Amino acid sequence: MICEFIDQMRSEGHAVESICRGLRKAGLQIAARTYRMWTSPRRAIAARVVSDAEVEDVVRQLVWKPDAQGRRKMQPAGLYGRRKMLAEVRRAGLATASPGAVDRAMRTLGLSGVVRAKKVYTTSPDSDALRAPDLSRDIGISLWAVSSSPYSRTADLPVRGQLISLLVG
């Protein structure tokens, strides 16, 4: 739309720089260089953008198929993770698909595989080990006290390197 306006003004004999200056005063930030880049005939689309679009189309075809009423319905391939989806895309005829392209396509389409693995535990507790003693029982007094006054005096006692506040009555 902007390019069409600038093209129309150019056809009336105005220079690109003066048109962009007028647009800038109107609150639309566009540089003449940007306009020339947008309208350049030799502006090539990156190969990665093209390959990503191809992969995304294949993934979309694998995941959603129309049902009897013509509505799109997700197929079991929609639950595949990256590795299975990559294998499926390559089987579907796109042998040059990369794992990164499949990742980007799945992210764009909002797909993430079902995780069936359970949480990985790297350590296991020793059943013969003794549990660490509780500090409140170790000093022989109760740490919990109830006071009727909101302004109660407390004393700080060092217990095994930690300060514990006790109610002083």
Residues 109-136: tens digit of each pLDDT = 999 888 777 887 888 888 888 877 766 5
Are residues 56 and 105 both part of a single domain?
A: yes
Whether residue 33 lies inside any domain: the answer is yes
Residue 55's nearest CA partner among 17, 99, 10, 1 is 99
**Whether 25 and 57 share a structural domain:** no
Q: Is the domain of 73 the same as that of 56?
A: yes
> What is the number of domains present in the chain?
2
Question: 51 lies in which domain range?
Answer: 47-109
Beta-carbon contacts of residue 157 (< 8 Å; ≥ 6 apart): 139, 163, 164, 166
Could you tell me if residue 74 is inside a domain?
Answer: yes
**Based on the domain organization, do 31 and 75 belong to the same domain?**
no
Q: In this structure, is residue 78 part of a structural domain?
A: yes
pLDDT, one tens digit per residue, over 14-61 is 999 999 998 888 888 888 888 888 888 777 788 899 999 999 999 999
**pTM of the predicted model over 0.95:** no
